[in-house]
Structure 1
């Protein structure tokens, strides 16, 4: 039996996925979580084999949660299920330790197949995501200003575009407020912006967030 945890900040999404998976032979949902922080706490006690991870969530989000989960529980597999099909998210999540990546538009059968594949120790990438990654590797392939950010810079950027304050980010990432301010100014320089609002607008232009001050995507 493959034990699964579903992580998504939308209760309707979690409930729907849980019902579908509990009807699938050989799979059982043992836990749900509404944030990256909750996922880390719950996974430590429920010990799922596979975590279905959303990307855009309040707090530390799916990127940092994935990185921490695979460090804390090396045998655990993270399968991303997100609305984000475009870069930089697929590459970032896979580099953070995810074993697979699907979009929320995929068929139910593909989610079930992907869970079984990653639980068996292999990687599973949806066809649309595989195409995105392949195009990026070709000469002249699509790139974004965010491709050159370090993993930590990317995490801070996502939290800033959610409207989170310096002290809140500092507390959640266990870094000093001064360090967060340094990351903010470094982001401004790398991305050619002068404020958090400009940063959020740039992120919106590349489809990284849906609205300024917080993601609204399912």
Structure 2
């Protein structure tokens, strides 16, 4: 809804300006693209998302959590658009602004895992961590390993891919090698051979080192 988008934009702006150590009401109003920023501010106050004094606007606990997720979706979308879809810088931000309003929690977490839980957006700004990032941080040494370290015969689930070249990523995707897919490693020499669905696929060692997987417990 339009009103919700305007409120989201306000919360996002407050978060971003706070990163610049700016919280005064005058600057927030000047930097807002929304002509109805005062109405959006009123709605956010009524929803207990912000608190306002004579010259300052701050996020409440509820507003903090909501703003965090909005910024997270926006910056992950920027990362996806730049690194995977190769969208130009001129279109990246506007498209990310649209995506931040429609990405659901599950899709957002999947994008984050697909990108390898990035810490910074293309502009160098920090991407707020999600639950998937915390799980990855806690379990990665024990559970998530490169395919190159898997024992032949094991069934594993792809967690994320970090190929060095975009073209390589497209090739893997076309072969069905994407996060969430279960594969079986048949052999490692002279080349890695994995089974994806009903198809055996040969890949080289370099690619195997950039496919991160988790063992499927039987």
- Fold in common (TM above 0.5): no
TM-score, structure 1 as length reference: 0.31
TM-score, length-normalised on structure 2?
0.31
